[in-house]
Amino acid sequence: MPHYPKHYCGVFGIYGQTNAAEMAYYGNYALQHRGQESAGIATSDGKKLFVHRGMGLVKDVFTPEVMRNLHGYIAVGHTRYSTTGASTINNAQPLTADCAKGRLAIAHNGNLTNASQLREELEAKGSIFQTTVDSEIIVHLLAQPSRDGTDSVLVEAIRRIEGAFSLVIMTERELIGVRDPHGFRPLSLGRMPTGSWVLASETCAFDLIEAEFVRDVRPGEIVIIDENGLRSLDAFPEQKTRAFCIFEYVYFARPDSTIAGRNVYKVRVEMGRELAREHPIQADIVVPVPDSGNCAALGYSLESGIPYEMAFVRNHYVGRSFLQPTQGIRDLAVKVKLNLIKDLVTGKRVIIVDDSIVRGTTSRARVMTLKDAGAKEVHVLVSCPPHKNPCVYGIDFPDRNKLLAVKNTLEEIRNYLKADSLGYLSQTGMVRATGLPESSFCMACYDGKYPVPFDEQLDKEIMERRRARIGSFSDDVSRALRQPRLSL
C-alpha cells in the first residue's frame, strides 16, 4: 500500500438557501480530498428532513434523480474516510435521528478520545447503537430531552465529549456549527451573496459556491443559525490551550484554502524554503512528489536557485490511492499513480521532495525508479519532521511499531530508501513556516505531546467487556432456540 497517512472527513452546512442541496453537493465536491469512501447530504424544509448517503465519490453518489428528492433551505454534507468504524453504508454520514427536539442530522470531522467510555455508559442506560462510528455517541447525547427548553442539552452534550471534533448539525429549523475547545480540526464560517450562512471544513468550499469567508469558528465555540440570524455560545470558556493539527498545513488541506489567516499554499512554499536553509544540497534539479510535494519543492527551488522540474507525472484519474478502502486497490493504485519522465533525470543529481514518510516503502520505490532511469544521485527531503507517534485525534497513522522513524536512525532510513542523502524539516522550521506560535499546534505525531489525554488500556478493557457481553447474549439466544416448543 502507499504509506501516506489516511484522511479523515469533510463537513459542510448551509442555511437559508432555496437550492441548499445543490450548494451542499458542490461543497462536498470541493471537500472530496478529505474522504473518498462515502458521501452524504441531509436537507430540511423546516418541517421534514430528507437524507441520502452512499458509498463512493460525490459525483457517483448524487445523481440528478437523487438531488431532486433533497428538498429544503437547510443542508449538511459529509465526505468520509473511516478513522473509526468500518467502511460501510451504515457508517456513512450525516447520521440522522429522532429526538425530543424533532429530527436532527450530524456530520463529524475528528475522533473522540473518550468514545469507548461514553458508549459503554450509554449502552448501560439502554441506548442502542446502529453504527460503529464514534459520531453516533454525539447523536445519543444530543437526543436527550431538554430540562428547560434552552440550549443546555447542546452545551452539556458538547462538554461531555473529548478529543477532536468539528461538527455541523442540522435540526428541522437550525444549522449548528461546533468546534472542539483545542481547535484540532478546521471549521470556517462564510456567507453567500444572498445572505445565506455557510459552514465548511475548508475555505476552498466557499470559493466554489461564491461564498465570502467571514471567519474561522473559534475553538470551543458553538454557532447557531436560524430564522433570527446567527448567535454564538462559548461552551468551554475555561479552556485556553490551543492544539490545531499542523499536518493540515503540511499535507491535508487543499493549497487554495486559508486556515487561521494563513494561505496553505504559501505556508507549504515557505516550508520548502526552510528545507533549503536547513539542508543545502548541490544538485541539478528539484522534483516534487505530486501533488502533495509540489509547493515545498517549489519553495526549495526558489530558495536554492536549483531548477524545478515536474519529472513525476500524476495520473489524476487514479485519485488519492491511500484513501481507497481495500488493499488490492491500494497496491494497484501505487503502480499507476505516478509516471516518470526519464529524460529529465538521466545523468542528473536529483532532489526529490515529499511531504512525509510514514512507513517508507513508497518513498523507496520512488528512489529506485529514479535510479533505474539513470539519475546520478537521489537526495530525499521531507517537509516535516519524522513521524514517531500514532494520532488519536482523527488521522489514521499506523500504530507506533509500524512507523519507519520509530526504530530506525536517520542513516538507517536513508539506507532503506537507497537514497544518497536524507533530510527532514525540523519542528522549529515547520512551525516558523506557518508564521504562528508553536503553542497554536498539536504536533503529537512528531513529539509525543498529546494535548488531550487518552487511556489506551481502558479502551482495551472496555472492548473486552463489550465482546464478553455480546458473547453472553449470543449464548442466551442459542439456548432459547434449543428449548422444545410447547404444543397448544
Q: CA-to-CA distance for 435 and 343, rounded, in angstroms?
A: 38
348: Cβ–Cβ under 8 A, 6 or more apart, which residues?
Answer: 283, 284, 285, 375, 376
The CB density around residue 331, as the number of other CB atoms within 10 Å, is 13
70: Cβ–Cβ under 8 A, 6 or more apart, which residues?
Answer: 21, 24, 41, 43, 50, 51, 52
Q: Which of 317, 262, 254, 307 is nearest to 285 (CA)?
A: 307
Question: Can you say whether residue 56 is alpha, beta or left, with left for phi > 0 and alpha for psi between -120 and 50 degrees?
Answer: left
Of these residues, 9, 245, 391, 442, which one is catalytic? 9
Q: Return the C-alpha cell found at 395.
A: 488521522
Contact, 40 vs 12, CB < 8 A?
Answer: no
Q: Which of 96, 95, 117, 126 is nearest to 162 (CA)?
A: 117
As a 3-state breakdown, the chain gives helix, strand, coil percent values, each rounded to 5, of 35, 25, 40
Q: Which of 424, 398, 399, 394 is nearest to 409 (CA)?
A: 424
End-to-end CA distance of the chain: 62
Q: Degrees (nearest 5) of the Cα angle 425, 357, 372? A: 105
The CB density around residue 93, as the number of other CB atoms within 10 Å, is 31
Clarify whether 9 is annotated catalytic.
yes
In one-letter notation, the amino acid at residue 3 is: H
Q: CA-to-CA distance for 408 and 201, rounded, in angstroms?
A: 36
For the chain, the C-alpha Rg in angstroms (whole number) is 24
Question: Can you say whether residue 254 is alpha, beta or left, with left for phi > 0 and alpha for psi between -120 and 50 degrees?
Answer: beta
| Catalytic machinery residues | 9
